[in-house]
Amino acid sequence: MTRIRRKTAGLIAGIVVAVAISAGAGALWWRSDSLPSTAAFRADGRVVTIPQLQSWASSMHALYGVQIPDEPTQQAKFWRAAAKSMAVETVVAGAARKVGVSVTQSQANTYLAQYVASVYGSGETGQQAFASALINAGTSLPAVESEFRRVLLDERLFAKVTEKTSTPNTSQLQAGFLRWSCHLGTPESRHIQNIVVLDTAAATAVKRALSTGTPWGVVVRRWSQDSTTAAKAGDLGWQSAASLQSQFAAAAFAATPGEIFGPVKTTVGYDIGRVLAIRPASPPTLEASHTQVTQWIQAQQASDVWSTWIDQQLRAGDVQYASKYSPDASTKTTSAAPALGSVAPAACPKS
C-alpha cells in the first residue's frame, strides 16, 4: 500500500527509457499522395498498412495503457497521431541504421524480461500475467518485442546524437539557477505516521479509540491495513508534500506536530495520520544546486540537438500518408513512454 505516500509512477519508468519526439512545430514534412488502399502511410521507403498500425496501437495499449477513444472525432485524431508517431519511429529506425546504431534481439529480450518482472512479477506467474495482458490488449509477443527493441534503439541513438553537449559556463549556470530556482532547495518535510482502513466505519472507530487515549501503536496493530507500515507503528518516515497523494498531503501539511488528522480518502482507503515533527524548507543556493542546474542545462541542450536532428531525418524520410491518417501541423505524436535522459523542469513563474 505504498501508494498512500507516493504518487503512482509511470508504468515503466526506470525500466524502459524511450524518446519524446519533437517533429518541428508547424513543419509540414509529409505528403498525402497515392498509396495502396490498405496503406496508412509510407515512410523512408516502407509502406505501413492499416492492420500494422492497428497492431502497433494494441502494443501501445498493452505496454503503456494508451486508450483508443470511442468518440468518432477524437478517435480520428487519435489515428492521425498514431500514424504520425509510427512514421517517426520508422524514419528514426532507418536513420539509426545509417549511423551504425543497432540492438540485437538478445538485448531486446533482456530488456523485455526486466519489464515483465517489474510489472507482472517474476517466474511463471509473471509470464502468465503478461501473456494474459497481451491477449486482453489484442496484441502479440512479437509486436511487443519489436516495441522494446525500438525503445532500446532510441535510447542508444539519442546518446549518440547528443553526446557532444557542452559544460555550461558561469553565466549559463546563473541564468539556469534563476530559471529553475523554484525547483531547487530543500522543501519542507514532515515525519508522519499513518493508519489505513478500508471504510468510514473503521475510520470512525480509529478516531474514537485515539480520542479516548488508546495508544497509537495499539490502534495501528488493531486496525491498519497497510502491511508495509503496520509493524512499525505506521511510520512513513520523512515525506515532502510532493511525495504524497495530494489530498493526504494537504491534510498532513496543515497539521501541527503531534496533531492527529483525517480520515482522508485516498486511492487505498481512508487514512488517519499523525505528524511527529517538521523539518523546515531551506532556500536554494547556486553553490548547492550547481550539479542539478548543470544537468538540467545539458538536458535542455540535448533535447534541442535531438529535436533538430529528428526534424532533419523526417524531412529526408519522404513521409506520405493516406488521407484518413494525414496529420495537420498541430497533430502531436502519441508518445506514451518516458522521455530519454534527464529532463529539465518548466521555468519558474516570474515574480
Question: Do residue 88 and residue 159 come from a single domain?
Answer: yes
**Apex CA 64: angle with CA 61 and CA 68, to 5°?**
35
**Closest of 13, 96, 91, 84 to residue 45, by C-alpha:** 91
Coil, strand, or helix at residue 336?
Answer: coil
What pLDDT sits at residue 145? Answer: 85
Looking at the chain, list the stretches that DSSP marks H as alpha helix, in order from N- to C-terminal side.
50-64, 72-98, 105-120, 123-137, 141-161, 170-180, 200-211, 216-223, 246-252, 286-316
The answer to whether position 229 is within a domain reads: yes
**Closest of 326, 322, 333 to residue 23, by C-alpha:** 333
Largest CA distance in the chain: 79
Backbone angles phi, psi at 13, to 5 degrees: -55, 130
Question: Do residue 28 and residue 90 come from a single domain?
Answer: yes
Question: Do residue 267 and residue 293 come from a single domain?
Answer: no
Q: Which domain holds residue 217?
A: 192-273
What pLDDT sits at residue 289? Answer: 94
Question: Do residue 62 and residue 32 come from a single domain?
Answer: yes
Question: Do residue 38 and residue 153 come from a single domain?
Answer: yes
Prediction pTM value: 0.63
Instruction: Count CB-CB contacts under 10 A for residue 346.
Output: 9
Question: Do residue 158 and residue 24 come from a single domain?
Answer: yes
What pLDDT sits at residue 65? Answer: 81
What pLDDT sits at residue 45? Answer: 87
Helix axes 286-316, 72-98, angle to 10 degrees: 90
Round to whole Å and give the CA distance between 185 and 240: 12
Question: Do residue 154 and residue 298 come from a single domain?
Answer: yes
Show Cβ contacts of residue 257 under 8 Å, excluding neighbours closer than 6 positions: 275, 276, 277, 278
The answer to whether position 34 is within a domain reads: yes
Give, as one character, the DSSP assignment of residue 325: G
Question: Do residue 320 and residue 268 come from a single domain?
Answer: no
Instruction: Count CB-CB contacts under 10 A for residue 158.
Output: 25
Q: Is 201 left (phi over 0), alpha (psi -120 to 50) or beta?
A: alpha
Question: Do residue 264 and residue 295 come from a single domain?
Answer: no
What pLDDT sits at residue 33? Answer: 54
The answer to whether position 69 is within a domain reads: yes
Question: Do residue 17 and residue 155 come from a single domain?
Answer: yes
Q: Kindly give the parts of the chain with pLDDT less than 70.
A: 1-33, 329-342, 351
Coil, strand, or helix at residue 66?
Answer: coil
State the amino acid at position 263 in one-letter form: P
Q: Which residues pair with 240 in a beta bridge?
A: 189
Round to whole Å and give the CA distance between 33 and 77: 20
Question: Do residue 134 and residue 72 come from a single domain?
Answer: yes
Cell of residue 2, nine digits = 505504498
Question: Do residue 300 and residue 155 come from a single domain?
Answer: yes
Instruction: Give the number of domains in the chain.
Output: 2
CATH number at residue 197: 3.10.50.40
CATH number at residue 21: 1.10.4030.10
What pLDDT sits at residue 42? Answer: 92
